[in-house]
Structure 1
Amino acid sequence: MTAHLPRRRTERRGLRLWPVGPVLALTFATAVLVAAAVFYTGWDLLGARGLKPEHRLDSSTLFDLVKLSFGVVAGAGALVALVVAYRRQRVDEDGALREATRLHTERFTTAVAQLGDASPAVRLGGVHALAGLADDAPTRALRQTCIDVLCAYLRLPYTAEPDLPADDAEARHAYLSLREVRHTVIRLIRDHLRLAPEDPHSWQGHDFDLTEVTFDGGDFTGAHFSGGRVNFTGAEFSGGRVVFSGAEFSGGRVVFSGARFSGGRVDFHGARFSGGRATFASAEFSGGRVDFSGAEFSSGPVDFHGARFSGSTVTFASARFSGGMVIFTDARFSDGTASFYSAWFSGGTIIFSGAKFSGSTVNFSDARFSGSTVTFASARFSGGRVTFTDARFSGDRVAFTGARFSDGTVDFSQAWFPGGTVDFTGADGVAPTGLVPPNGSPFPAGLTLPRTWDPARS
């Protein structure tokens, strides 16, 4: 690993100070203006109308004039001293910052060299040294540089345990050593993101570039990713357990685009996505288990556009989608299980337009759709099973316009329609089970069906 600071991070502009002559002239002019303003204000408040003329100056008046002259000279000297002292303070501060930066650079070079050492123990020392450097960094840019290097270490090529040669003890020992170093980096990032923003060692608001990192474990429990940009684009979650339970993603931008959840377990239980933007566009959920149960999605948009849910178990049970926009357009649910059991969709827009539900089990049982707009327009339900049993549709509008249903794939048994509108205009195929009330039963207000499904009522 190259041990140097990125040029764009470390270039410093020299201390910019105006020439002393213009500064003194400006200071004197400001002082005169302030004195004139104070004099005029006092004159006005005292109600003075003029000055009493004196044709001859006595000794007392002359002495007062002399004292006034010396006072003006002393004031001018004080102003000069103040300007010079300020400039000296600025120069001293800049010199101290330069010295701190120089020492930081020396320590940084040593720590990065440790990261490239063959010994796992030395690399662990380098990881902790870089974290300490980030805490002591004299500027925000230098702290970001330390964080960038730790993230870059995670992005280095890495062979996960399933890909190790069989019966190769040496390769396994090397893998376990490297995994310990990597998990230490993850733990240090988490610990610093748990600190309050006002803590001098908090890393909240910084950028974390974790593109294409292979995760075979790691704990981000309770971390607060607030502000900045957190990038997991193309990351591989291939084994072990990666935990984001109780993590908070607020402000800034969180990107899981193209991430692959292909094994092990990834736990977002109780995580909060608020403000900012979180995107899982084109992510692949294949194998393993991904748990969003109890998660909260509020304010800013959450994007699952084009995501693939196949051969895995993904659960949004009891999740809360409120405010903002949740996008599942063109998502594919196939050969796996996706559960929205008891999820609550309220006060926002949830879009499943163009989604395809085929060969999988998707469960919306006991879900609540209230005060929001939910659309399954042009969605395709073929094969597998999608159930809305005991779901409650109330509030705004739920649209299945142009959706296509095949026999026995969708179940609305005991679904409730206490308010709002549920629109199946233009839908075709076989009517979902339990949607059309039997003859003689009251027809739910706000429910619109195509004539082919219920000619007598629609």
Structure 2
Amino acid sequence: MTNPLQPRPKQDGRHTPNLWPVWLVAPGALFTVGAAAFGLYHGAELLLSSEATGKKPVGVQDVIKTTVTVLTLIGAVLAALYAYRKQLLDEGTSHRADSTQLTERYTKAAEQLGHDQAAVRLAGVYAMARLADDWPEQRQVCVDVLCAYLRMPYETDPADAGYRHGEREVRLTIIRTIRNHLQDPTSTNTWCGRNLDFTGATFDGGDFSGSTFSGGQVSFSHSTFSGGEVSFSGSTFSGGQVSFSHSTFSGGEVYFNSSTYSGGQVSFSHSTFSGGEVYFSGSTYSGGQVSFSGSTYSGGEISFSRSTFSGGEVYFNSSTFSSGGVYFSGSTFSSGEVSFYNSLFSGAEVRFISSTYIGGQISFNGSTYTSGQVSFLDSAFSGSRVSFSPSAFFGGEVDFRGSTYTSGTVNFRDSRVQAAATLHWGPFPPIPVNHP
């Protein structure tokens, strides 16, 4: 039940000022003015009479004149209040007109995005983006519409019956528009921190380079990267969640080169890599987490070459590697963790060639090797921990040749190494081979 003594509650979509009900304000104002006039009249009479003691009595006309003057001032105040109220109402009318115009613009832009002609759809992209800039209250809604467009079914093969001419350019324009709004988190029109939902989308190209992901949730989950070049190069990941989980990488190239990771989470967990390349080369990790846990690798390449790890975590836990490669060559590890815990290697290559280890941890604990290669060739160990404890080597190769060791720990405790496996110990003492 509403309280009649409270102002009208603000309604969604309305811009009317939050005013008291007229039926309550009018009697209250009349009563207040009447009481003020009565009090002023008698008060003024008593005051003037007391000041005129022993003098000529104060006339009634003087009392009335004083009272009228005061009432005139009160009337002026009430008139100002009325003018203020009228101004608020006029502003409410103006705001409603603006809201109507923005709604009409939204409807028109949405209709353009659904048009058969690619040129009209392109106009709809620009119109929706401009509307998002002009309508902060509904900015997320406009962004959601553009993301929803990318989630729609998309045929990349011109020979397919569902192929639409010009559709790729429309989609690339949407991606470029989103990228432009993720460059500067301090901009009044920034989309940084907004939720971006690309779940299930198909990407055969797109430029997200230089973007800042500092909050919100960004989802590429269940997406397909089938060709072309998708770039996140030079991006900053400092908060929020960016998810590529359950995605399929069957072709093309995805670039995260020279990116910075200081917080938040980037997840590729439970994804399938059967082709193409994903590059994180030259990136810096001082915090946050990048996870590939539970993924399957039957082709393609993932490269962290020449990266710097001074914190954060990179996980490949419980993954399956049958072909392809994961490369950390030329990287520097001073803190943080890279983990391949409980993974199965049956053909892929994991290379840490020519890297420097002065801190942090690299873990292959609980993994199984039937073929493939893990190489630390020509690396320098002066403080990190590298652990294979306990793992099972039924085949494959682990190579430390050409490496140097001054401190740190390399641990194969409780591992099973059978004759079919090849371990090049380099500077480390070999462990006995466990025959079946």
Please give the per-residue CA displacement for 1:267-296, whole angstroms capped at 9, x wherever unaligned: 111122332221111122211122111122
| Aligned residue in 2 for 1:123 | 121
The CA RMSD measured in Å over matched residues stands at: 3.6
| Aligned residue in 1 for 2:294 | 306
Letter of the aligned partner of 2:192 in structure 1? Answer: Q
Secondary structure of the 2:181 match is: helix
**Cα contact 1:309–1:338 (8 A) shared by 2:** no
Secondary structure of the 1:330 match is: coil
| Aligned residue in 2 for 1:432 | 423
**Cα contact 2:340–2:365 (8 A) shared by 1:** yes
Secondary structure of the 1:102 match is: helix
Letter of the aligned partner of 1:131 in structure 2? Answer: A
| Aligned residue in 1 for 2:226 | 238
| Aligned residue in 2 for 1:287 | 275
Cα distance, 1:228 vs structure 2? 1.6
**Cα contact 2:200–2:221 (8 A) shared by 1:** yes
**Cα contact 1:408–1:433 (8 A) shared by 2:** no
Cα distance, 1:231 vs structure 2? 0.6
The 1-side partners of 2:386 and 2:68 are apart by 85
CA distance 1:231–1:84, change in 2 (3 Å)? farther
| Aligned residue in 2 for 1:336 | 324
Cα distance, 1:309 vs structure 2? 2.3
User: Normalising to structure 1: TM-score of the pair?
Assistant: 0.75
Please give the per-residue CA displacement for 1:308-336, whole angstroms capped at 9, x wherever unaligned: 22211221111233323222211222211
Please give the per-residue CA displacement for 1:60-104, whole angstroms capped at 9, x wherever unaligned: xx9xxxxxx999999988987787676656555444333222111
| Aligned residue in 2 for 1:164 | 159
Letter of the aligned partner of 1:179 in structure 2? Answer: R
Residue 392 in structure 1 maps to residue 380 in structure 2:
yes
CA distance 1:135–1:425, change in 2 (3 Å)? same
| Aligned residue in 2 for 1:134 | 132
**Cα contact 2:185–2:212 (8 A) shared by 1:** no
CA distance 1:19–1:379, change in 2 (3 Å)? same
Letter of the aligned partner of 2:247 in structure 1? Answer: A
Secondary structure of the 1:104 match is: helix
The 2-side partners of 1:300 and 1:401 are apart by 25
Choose 123-132 or 361-370, whichever is displaced more: 361-370
**Cα contact 1:405–1:432 (8 A) shared by 2:** no
Please give the per-residue CA displacement for 1:110-143, whole angstroms capped at 9, x wherever unaligned: 1111111111111111111111111111x333x1
The 2-side partners of 1:136 and 1:92 are apart by 21
Cα distance, 1:338 vs structure 2? 1.7
CA distance 1:307–1:18, change in 2 (3 Å)? same
Residue 365 in structure 1 maps to residue 353 in structure 2:
yes
Secondary structure of the 1:336 match is: strand
Kindly report which structure 2 residues correspond to 1:33-432, keeping only aligned pairs within 5 A, or say none. 91-137=89-135, 139-141=136-138, 143-161=139-157, 164-165=159-160, 175-194=164-183, 196-395=184-383, 397-407=385-395, 409-430=397-418, 432=423
CA distance 1:406–1:105, change in 2 (3 Å)? same
The 1-side partners of 2:112 and 2:382 are apart by 60
Letter of the aligned partner of 2:351 in structure 1? Answer: N
Which consecutive unaligned segments of at least 5 residues does structure 2 have? 1-10, 30-49, 59-66
CA distance 1:407–1:231, change in 2 (3 Å)? closer
Secondary structure of the 2:182 match is: helix
CA distance 1:375–1:72, change in 2 (3 Å)? farther
**Cα contact 1:407–1:432 (8 A) shared by 2:** no
CA distance 1:104–1:309, change in 2 (3 Å)? same
The 2-side partners of 1:394 and 1:369 are apart by 6
CA distance 1:127–1:401, change in 2 (3 Å)? same
The 2-side partners of 1:419 and 1:75 are apart by 89
Secondary structure of the 1:153 match is: helix
CA distance 1:187–1:427, change in 2 (3 Å)? same
CA distance 1:389–1:71, change in 2 (3 Å)? farther
The 1-side partners of 2:71 and 2:333 are apart by 75
**Cα contact 1:357–1:386 (8 A) shared by 2:** no
CA distance 1:299–1:437, change in 2 (3 Å)? closer
Choose 425-434 or 243-252, whichever is displaced more: 425-434
CA distance 1:297–1:87, change in 2 (3 Å)? farther
Secondary structure of the 1:109 match is: helix
The 1-side partners of 2:89 and 2:383 are apart by 65
Higher share in strand: 2
The 1-side partners of 2:68 and 2:357 are apart by 82
Please give the per-residue CA displacement for 1:383-411, whole angstroms capped at 9, x wherever unaligned: 01111112233335332211122455110
The 1-side partners of 2:82 and 2:389 are apart by 76
Secondary structure of the 1:123 match is: helix
Cα distance, 1:13 vs structure 2? 6.2
